[in-house]
Amino acid sequence: MKMRVGLIGLGHAWESRHCPALRSLSDRFQVIAVCGEVAQRSEAVAREFRAVSLDGFRVMIERNDIDAVLVLSTDWVGHLPILAACDAGKAVYAAAPLDIEPTQVDEIRRRVDESGIAFMAELPRRHAPATLRLKELIATRLGPPRLLFCHERLTCEDRMAAGRRGFARQVALRNLMELVDWCRYVVGHDPSSVIAARNQGVVGGTPSFYQSVSLDFSRPDRPEVEGPIAQLSIGHYLPARWREALPFRRPASLQVCCENGIAFIDLPSTLIWFDDAGQHSESLETERPVGEQLLTHFHRAVTSLIRKTSDLEDAYKALTVVNAAGQSISEERRIRLTF
């Protein structure tokens, strides 16, 4: 079945992820219409895919020749396309699911549930080849995770370029939510508490942002067992003129210390792990790219008889953890989590 889709927004990952994936999966997806923030760019993409460029997302969603919508950016329209798709009964692929404001989450969950549509949130770190291979190793060789260290470091200007929709801090929190979801997926269950710290100052004459979050994955129903701990950090504190410092001694994107070994991940496809037998290096560049895997999952979700909305719940839980981290900073204490 070839799914007829409309594109709402193009986003920062269009050239690197979404466009190549749609081209590779042309036997499964046909782009019918494009609606973006910049008309000239939308028209260029529409010509490339032999589609039409539209000014309004509601007009696109209500078209009879559209089966599903790919919401690739919400910088200019927020969550409104998701609600419009619910009204029209169209499936939604949300490339920016963690940009949802806390006050909007309950409404979106209710509307998606009432409409019965298929909804998939794009959580690319989960589907990266290195992450999937790590999950295999945890199940077979490395054993359960005990400690996780997850870091992301960007320049101040990268943060500002990505923050057209609002304040720079909002962009940092979106990245932090992705890291929270990544750790939840690797561990395999929800954290029970969170404690956080934040620093906002001026570095090299440019406003900076840094936040660290510690997640305790101990299970409340098993107090006698000490659960994994995840240490996350997100930083936007290097001015662009110091860009050469960005890759210098950069830590691994994810470091996982397990019961029987330790693994280091650099996204999307590099995994180095150690056990009693020594070092093992795996390059997974021959695996299908993340964008293709995600759209393939979405195609299956729409065409399957089993309705898929679990990703929305995952996005909601990540947002809950980050909000609790903010509460921890303001109240200077550890916050217990309930889902």
pLDDT by residue (tens digit) across 53-66? 998 999 999 999 99
pLDDT at 171 (0 to 100):
64
Model confidence band, residue 132 (pLDDT cutoffs 50, 70, 90): very high
Interval 204-217 mean pLDDT: 87
Q: For the chain, what is the total number of helices (H) and then of strands (E)?
A: 11, 17
7 versus 290: the higher-pLDDT residue is 7
Q: Check pLDDT > 80 for residue 100.
A: no
pLDDT tens for each residue of 10-45 = 888 899 999 999 999 999 999 999 998 888 999 999
Average pLDDT of every residue of the chain:
86
pLDDT tens for each residue of 242-268 = 777 777 777 789 999 999 999 999 988
Candidate from 162-166, 169-173, 260-264 with smallest mean pLDDT: 162-166
Alpha helices by DSSP H, 101-167: 102-115, 124-127, 129-137, 156-162
Interval 325-333 mean pLDDT: 94
CB atoms within 10 A of CB 110: 11
pLDDT at 156 (0 to 100):
59
169 versus 253: the higher-pLDDT residue is 253
Residue 235's contacts (CB-CB under 8 Å, 6 or more residues apart) are 151, 152, 153, 154, 208, 209, 210, 211
Interval 144-153 mean pLDDT: 92
Percent residues over pLDDT 90 in the chain: 50
pLDDT at 131 (0 to 100):
93
pLDDT at 102 (0 to 100):
63
The reported pTM is: 0.85
Q: Is 121 exposed, middle or buried (0-12, 13-18, 19+ CB in 10 A)?
A: buried
Q: Check pLDDT > 90 for residue 154.
A: no
pLDDT at 168 (0 to 100):
45
166 versus 101: the higher-pLDDT residue is 101
Q: Check pLDDT > 90 for residue 309.
A: no
Whole-number Å distance between alpha carbons of 12 and 285:
22
Interval 267-273 mean pLDDT: 89
Whole-number Å distance between alpha carbons of 161 and 168:
9
Q: Check pLDDT > 90 for residue 177.
A: no
Interval 85-107 mean pLDDT: 80
Q: Check pLDDT > 60 for residue 211.
A: yes
Q: Check pLDDT > 70 for residue 231.
A: yes
